[in-house]
């Protein structure tokens, strides 16, 4: 099992920034970036847990739920990652999404 503590801390930091962001920032794309990240993390989890099954998409629960969605998605992913390369890839996704979100 891979050490995912850096990954969960990075997402927790991003989620905290989203929760502290003004509604206008969320509306200008920060929430959409977070949802995109949550969906990608959930997709990766599903590919590892259930290879060969039809992919499901995480629903859009609204801009105020985006922080919670990335938190849930990363904790699910952290349970199934098996090597440090996967952790590094996910960390890069988080960093890119947070930069695009501007928070």
Percentage of residues in the chain with pLDDT exceeding 90? 98
Q: How many Cα atoms within 13 Å fall on the side-chain side of residue 86? A: 18
pLDDT in tens, 59-86: 999 999 999 999 999 999 999 999 999 9
The answer, yes or no, to whether residue 28 has pLDDT greater than 90, is yes
The answer, yes or no, to whether residue 30 has pLDDT greater than 80, is yes
Return the pLDDT at 1: 75
């Amino acid at each position: 099992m891979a050490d995912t503590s850096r990954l969960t801390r990075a997402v927790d930091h991003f989620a905290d920034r989203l929760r502290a962001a003004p509604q206008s920032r969320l509306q200008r794309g920060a929430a959409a970036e977070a949802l995109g990240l949550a969906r990608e993390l959930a997709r990766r989890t599903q590919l590892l847990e259930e290879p060969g099954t039809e992919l499901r998409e995480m629903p859009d629960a609204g801009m105020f739920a985006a922080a919670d969605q990335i938190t849930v998605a990363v904790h699910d992913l952290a349970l199934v990652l098996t090597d440090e390369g996967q952790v590094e890839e996910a960390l890069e996704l988080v960093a890119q999404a947070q930069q695009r979100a501007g928070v």
